[in-house]
């Protein structure tokens, strides 16, 4: 049924979640008539495909690309887009003028964190479910996941009447377990590692004749993820580069396949965290060390997919690494500038633009904000650390004579300098100062780094020793 056009970025009826409507009400409006939009996407895709590929059909390079990875093709992604038409939110892809100014490139953001389960993973899971036979649907599906794939599969399995079993490691945070159960899935907690949970999932699949839905190394899953590239190039056909986070490679395999078919000259760049460079190691034959944890847990994959690895090797132009600080900064920038909540993996693309900005200067760059499921405590830590790095939160130590009124004098001086005191710690015992003196540690809310220096100078002018810790 064709929906009425409304002055919102997408169809609120299709969204099924009013918080998503409110969250992106400030974005550039696009047509809410989902069927009309889908037809426009396919018409534009066919037009661009014919125009760009007419001269390359007979080329050896194009033939090689087709032969290398025949299991995932542009037609697979087109078919997935048709299947997902009434099941997945068509998220907006709009320019961020502020981020564009900061990084020196024209930045367009694809808000996949606005999906119902706050992740692009819904696309691949839903497409895989649509391909099940009646017999397979009756038996049910199983997956191993401690994150977004679990919720995406559970949600769409519930919607389509398919029983879903999700195997998670025992250490999985309770909020994720309960959220997955809330979507009607049967959650099995097993093992202390992801690998132990995966092996148990394989065993259960064999015992109960369930269809295993891999989070990334499945051509149907990758095809579903690739549908977001069709939408991006329909909304912004002049994009020069797409920057995509890589975990196991399902998202970038689908995106690269669709993008290169529609626009062969487009540049596709993959991003991994320095702590989990599994795809870079696999594709480039390097042996960079693997870490044990990262704030970008959605891309913390120790072994790249077999199917996805072949696509990345052939269709992705460059792989970049970012560190934890880059990702923290990107999460905070998106929260402050775009007023959107993105998890670590979802901010990896912007982190790459921050760290490797010379590689994107002057280009039109599309970023996928792949997910918004972040632990509140982790988010709080990122915000606090970001404020400290930018000089909006500072810890200083003031040394003074331990006499009545000295603390009042210190606080009055800080107040006159325009800073706000968040914490005070009066230190007498654990100090090398003379017994008549005292160390007072303060945590201050300040405007910037220069403001911190102004506060310190004011304290020194008042006869006190003051230094930043």
- pLDDT, average across residues 18-36: 41
The single residue listed with the structure tokens 């191993």 is 144
User: 206 with 235: CB under 8 angstroms?
Assistant: no
Instruction: Give residue-wise pLDDT tens across range 228-273.
Output: 999 999 999 999 999 999 999 999 999 999 999 999 999 999 999 9
Q: Which DSSP string corresponds to 195-210?
A: HHHHHHHHHHHHHHTP
* Half-sphere exposure at residue 375, Cβ-oriented, CA atoms within 13 angstroms: 15
The helix (H) or strand (E) run that includes residue 440 is: strand 437-445
Which residues are the active-site residues?
121, 370
In this predicted structure, the answer to whether residue 82 has a pLDDT above a threshold of 60 is: yes
User: 161 with 182: CB under 8 angstroms?
Assistant: no
**pLDDT confidence band for 433 (50 / 70 / 90):** low
Total Cβ atoms within 10 A of residue 257: 27
Cα separation, 26 vs 96, whole angstroms:
12
> 3-state SS of the chain: helix, strand, coil percent to 5?
50, 15, 35
Structure-model confidence comparison of residues 467 and 402, the more confident one:
467
- pLDDT, average across residues 422-449: 84
Residue 244 φ then ψ, to 5°: -135, 135
In this predicted structure, the answer to whether residue 30 has a pLDDT above a threshold of 50 is: no
pLDDT at 382: 94
User: Which tokens in the block code for residue 48?
Assistant: 């661009």
DSSP lists the bridge partners of residue 242 as 268, 366
Residues 6 or more apart in contact with residue 166 via CB below 8 angstroms: 142, 143, 144, 145, 150, 153, 154, 180, 185, 186, 187, 188
User: 72 with 311: CB under 8 angstroms?
Assistant: yes
Q: How many residues does the chain have?
A: 469
Dihedral of alpha carbons 419, 422, 423, 424, sign = positive
User: What is the rounded radius of gyration, in angstroms, for the C-alpha atoms of the chain?
Assistant: 26
Residue 405 φ then ψ, to 5°: 95, -10
């Amino acid at each position: 049924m064709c929906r009425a056009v409304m002055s919102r970025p997408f169809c609120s009826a299709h969204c099924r979640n009013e918080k998503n409507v409110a969250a992106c009400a400030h974005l550039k409006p696009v047509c809410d008539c989902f069927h009309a939009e889908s037809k426009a996407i396919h018409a534009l895709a066919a037009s661009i495909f014919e125009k760009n590929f007419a001269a390359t059909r007979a080329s050896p390079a194009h033939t090689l690309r087709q032969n290398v990875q025949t299991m995932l093709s542009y037609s697979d992604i087109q078919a997935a887009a048709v299947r997902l038409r009434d099941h997945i939110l068509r998220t907006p892809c709009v320019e961020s003028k502020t981020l564009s100014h900061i990084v020196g490139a024209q930045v367009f953001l694809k808000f996949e964190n606005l999906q119902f389960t706050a992740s692009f993973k819904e696309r691949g899971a839903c497409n895989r479910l649509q391909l099940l036979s009646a017999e397979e649907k009756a038996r049910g599906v199983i997956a191993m996941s401690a994150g977004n794939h679990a919720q995406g599969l559970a949600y769409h399995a519930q919607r389509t009447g398919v029983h879903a079993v999700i195997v998670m490691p025992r250490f999985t945070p309770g909020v994720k377990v309960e959220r997955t159960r809330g979507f009607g899935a049967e959650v099995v907690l097993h093992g202390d590692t992801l690998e132990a949970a995966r092996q148990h999932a394989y065993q259960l699949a064999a015992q109960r004749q369930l269809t295993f839905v891999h989070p990334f190394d499945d051509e149907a899953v990758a095809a579903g993820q690739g549908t977001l590239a069709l939408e991006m190039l329909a909304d912004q056909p002049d994009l020069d580069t797409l920057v995509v986070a890589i975990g196991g490679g399902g998202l970038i395999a689908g995106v690269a396949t669709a993008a290169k078919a529609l626009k062969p000259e487009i540049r596709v760049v993959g991003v991994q965290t320095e702590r989990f460079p599994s795809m870079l190691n696999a594709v480039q034959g390097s042996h960079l060390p693997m870490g044990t944890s990262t704030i970008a847990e959605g891309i913390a994959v120790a072994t790249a997919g077999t199917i996805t690895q072949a696509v990345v090797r052939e269709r992705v132009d460059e792989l970049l690494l970012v560190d934890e600080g880059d990702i923290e900064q990107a999460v905070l920038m998106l929260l402050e500038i775009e007023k959107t909540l993105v998890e670590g993996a979802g901010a990896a693309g912007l982190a790459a633009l921050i760290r490797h900005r010379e590689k994107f200067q002057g280009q039109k760059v599309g970023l996928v904000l792949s997910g918004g499921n972040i632990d509140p405590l982790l988010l709080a830590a990122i915000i606090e650390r970001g404020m400290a790095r930018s000089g909006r939160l500072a810890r200083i130590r003031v040394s003074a004579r331990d006499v009545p009124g000295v603390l009042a004098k210190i606080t009055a001086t800080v107040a006159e300098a325009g800073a706000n005191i968040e914490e005070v710690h009066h230190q007498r015992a654990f100090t090398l100062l003379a017994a008549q003196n005292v160390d007072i540690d303060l945590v201050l809310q300040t405007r910037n780094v220069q403001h911190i220096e102004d506060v310190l100078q004011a304290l020194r002018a008042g006869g006190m020793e003051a230094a930043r810790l």
